[in-house]
Amino acid sequence: MKIAIVFGGVSFEHEISIVSSIAMKDVLNNELIYLFLDASRDLYHIPTDIIKSKLFSTGEYKKFDKVFLQKGGFYKKGGLFSKDQTIHYDVVLNLSHGGDGEDGVLSSVLEFYNIPFVAPRTEACVVSSNKFLTKGYASSVGVNTLDYKYFTKGDKVVVDSFPAILKPVKLGSSIGVSIVKSQEELEYALDVAYEFDNAVIIEPFISGVKEYNLAGTKVNGEFRFSIIEEPQKAEFLDFDKKYLDFSRTSKALEVDLGEKLNEEIKESFRRLYNTLFEGSIIRCDFFVVNDTVYLNEINSIPGSMANYLFQDFSRLFNEVASTLPLKKYIPITYEYVNKIQATKGK
């Protein structure tokens, strides 16, 4: 199976996407095609054998072929006496973290052009990329979330008690996240968060809370789970730690929480994944407080696809790519229009 990896995009996580995508060379046992989406949303075909992060920081990627979209796939424009060249692939892996990749923009484009891809569909992206919407969705499917308050830029922000944790609504990788312990720290944290987003949520900060990660997917309607991992962290899992994790290819260590909590975390994942996230491999991050499981966040396109949580990620990916959900066929018959014309003709 030949995989076209689309990465980059207009996002605060643009650079993380580059690191994450390059890591796939050590993870997937497939022929890979790299399609880079730059800050101007121009696509470039980057040769797999020479791809490296420096190509992008120096702008060298612009010496490679530009790529264009059309119904059914990607192509390169031919010269004066040559035809356009189709890029051959079997499936696209959307590995653009953050905006464009995770907010539904890229998924919408791929769906519009009938391009098969591994990633959440548009509606799943919308739900998971917005922490405010994620909270409501989780509650609707019976998954616990921590109490929170939602504010938009210009609102008077009131915090009932400190410490609290403040998060921009639409960003991942802990960008703009702050732990605030006083009113003065709150004002500064709001200034930082509003540099990235125009809305925030504020949750109580629970010192020493246990966090656990579980990735998974569905293949032919059957859930496939990764191990449950307890990530290493200090006060909270900050940007630097998460950034390094985006290039991870070594396997994580499994934690055993006992039969009850193991199953509760998996059941929470099942409820969240449901049918909404079919066609994707996601990672959910959970808190456990007093033996109760709470959703922290849904990572719809996790760093390095959370490959380090699976025993055989390459095989799993190929199974997912081979069983993607089919879009419902909608026949266009013009029956109604013809009836109107027939009626007018009488």
pLDDT (tens digit per residue) in 140-180? 999 999 999 999 999 999 898 899 999 999 876 677 899 99
φ and ψ of 238, to 5 deg: -85, 180
When the candidates are 3.40.50.2300, 3.40.50.1110, 3.30.470.20, 2.60.40.10, the CATH number that belongs to 127-139+208-321 is 3.30.470.20
Q: Give the residue carrying structure tokens 């027939």.
A: 342
CA 19 – CA 284 distance, rounded (Å): 21
**What b/e sequence results for 139-175 when a residue is b if at least 16 CB atoms lie within 10 Å of its CB, and e otherwise?**
eeeebebbebbebeeeeebebeeeebbbbbbbbbbbb
> Do residues 133 and 125 make contact, with C-beta atoms less than 8 angstroms apart?
no
CATH 3.40.50.300 fits domain 149-204 = no
Kindly state the average pLDDT of the residues 66-95: 92
Nearest Cα to 128, choosing from 13, 297, 303?
297
Residue ranges of the domains in the chain?
A: 2-119, 127-139+208-321, 149-204
Q: Coil, helix or strand for 181?
A: coil
pLDDT at 234: 55
pLDDT at 72: 84
Kindly state the average pLDDT of the residues 247-253: 71
> Do residues 249 and 304 make contact, with C-beta atoms less than 8 angstroms apart?
yes
φ and ψ of 2, to 5 deg: -100, 125
Asked whether this chain's domains 2-119 and 127-139+208-321 adopt the same fold, the reply is no
- Domain 2-119: CATH class, spelled out: alpha beta
DSSP letter, residue 87: P
Average pLDDT along the chain: 91
Per residue in 95-141, pLDDT (tens digit) is 999 889 999 999 999 999 999 999 999 999 999 999 999 999 999 99
CA 285 vs CA 45, 145, 158, 230, 340: distances in Å: 34, 11, 27, 10, 54
- Record the pTM: 0.90
